[in-house]
Amino acid sequence: MIGWFSFFSGLLGGGIISLIVLGNKMLKWKGTYNEKKKISQLVETSKDIIYCYQVKPEKKFQYLSPSIKTILGTNPMQEAYSNPNWLFDIIHPDDYNLLQNKINGKMDYSKPIIQRWKNSKGKYIWLEENATPILENGEFIGVQGIVRNIDEKIKLQHELEYQIAHDPLTKIYNRAYFQKQMKKYNEQKNVSVAILLCDLDGLKYMNDYFGHEQGDSFIIASAKLLNYYSTSEIIVARIGGDEFAIIMANATMESAQNLYNDLHKDIVQYNENNVSVKISMSIGLSFAEDSYGQMEHLLGLADQHMYKNKKQKKRKRLLVEC
C-alpha cells in the first residue's frame, strides 16, 4: 500500500505541486505531525485535483482531493473509491489511450498530459495533468499527480487560432492560412493539386454606387457559395478584397474541371433565385500531377486563366450591348 506520507512527499519531491513551497523548513518538519497536517491542509484546499492512484497489488484510488467536485460539478468520490476504472467512464474516447498508458507506466511523465473529462452537464472540459510514477524497488506500483482545469485557456487558444486563420467578414479561411497551405503542398506534401482563382466582377462599381454594405453582402454571398465545396481536401479562402482561391488536394483534371463547371452552374442558379444580391465572378483553373515546387506557378496560371475568363465575359457583354 502507498503510504500517506510517501504520497505527499512524493508529490513535493517530484516538483508537481508548485503551490506548496515549504523551503528549508521542510527539513526541520520532516516526519513530524505538524508537517503532515500542514501539507494535508494545503492539498485539501487546493483548487486543482490532487490524486494518488495505486496500481499494485490492486488498482484503487488512495487519495482524491475534494476539488474534483468543483471542477466536474458533481461529487464522484464514492464511485471513484469503489470503482478503480471510474475515470475511463468520463474521459474523452480520443484520450482513452493516454489514461491507459499513464496507469500502466508507459508514458513520458516529464511532459504535461492534456486530456478531456466529461462534467456533470455531459460536456467535455480540457484538463492539464502533471503526473509522477510511484516506484517501489524499481517496480511501477502507481501514479500520483495534479490535474488543472484549463478549459478557458484552451477556448481562448482556439478562438485566437480561428481568428488568425479566418477572414472576419466571410468567416472562411484568410490569405495567411492559404499561404500556409500553399507552402505545405509546395515543400512538405506532394500531391496532385488544382487551384481555382475566383475574382468578383463589379465589386468596385457596387461599392461606389450602392455603398460598401451592399458590397459586403456581395462578398459574403460569394464566399458562402464557394465554401459549400469546402472539405478536408478542398480549401476555400478569401485572399484579397474581391479575390478568392481554392486549393483542391489529391485532385484529378476531371474532378477539378467538374468543380469549375459546378461553380458556374451554382452562380446561375443562385442569381435566378435571388433578387437583392447577384453574384458574378471570373474563375481561372490550373492543375498539376505533382505539387512540389509547383504551387506558385499554378497560382500564376490560374490567375492568367481567370483574367482570360474576365475578358471573355466583357467581350460578350459588349456584343450584347451592340
Rounded to whole angstroms, the Cα distance separating 292 from 183 reads 9
Q: Which of 91, 122, 150 is a domain's end point?
A: 150
Rounded to whole angstroms, the Cα distance separating 311 from 316 reads 9
Domain assignment present for 155: no
195 and 297: one domain?
yes
21 and 129: one domain?
yes
User: Mean pLDDT across the stretch 161-183?
Assistant: 97
107 and 207: one domain?
no
Q: What are phi and psi of 294, to 5 degrees?
A: -115, -10
User: Mean pLDDT across the stretch 259-287?
Assistant: 92
Look up the domain containing 295 and give its range. 166-321
Residue 293 has pLDDT above 70, yes or no: yes
Whether 68 and 50 have beta carbons less than 8 Å apart is answered as: no
Domain assignment present for 246: yes
Q: Flag the least confident range among 201-205, 243-247, 248-252.
A: 201-205
Q: List the CATH number of the domain containing 136.
A: 3.30.450.20
Whether 155 and 131 have beta carbons less than 8 Å apart is answered as: no
Q: Count how many domains the chain has.
A: 2
CB count in 10 Å sphere of residue 157: 12
Q: Flag the least confident range among 4-8, 177-181, 244-248.
A: 4-8
126 sits in which H/E element: strand 124-136
User: Mean pLDDT across the stretch 117-129?
Assistant: 96
Domain assignment present for 157: no
173 and 306: one domain?
yes
102 and 214: one domain?
no
Residue type, 2: I
pLDDT category at 275 given cuts 50, 70, 90 is confident
Hey, which of 18-32, 210-224, 291-305 has the most confident mean pLDDT?
291-305
19 and 141: one domain?
yes
131 and 91: one domain?
yes
- Beta bridge partners of residue 284, listed in sequence order: 197
C-alpha cell at 300: 500564376
C-alpha cell at 178: 492559404
* CA 234 to chain centroid: 18
For the chain, the first-to-last Cα distance in angstroms comes to 95
pLDDT at 121: 94
Q: Where are the alpha helices (DSSP H) in the chain?
A: 4-13, 25-29, 33-44, 67-72, 77-82, 86-90, 96-103, 151-165, 175-183, 203-210, 212-227, 253-273, 295-321
Domain assignment present for 156: no
121 and 244: one domain?
no
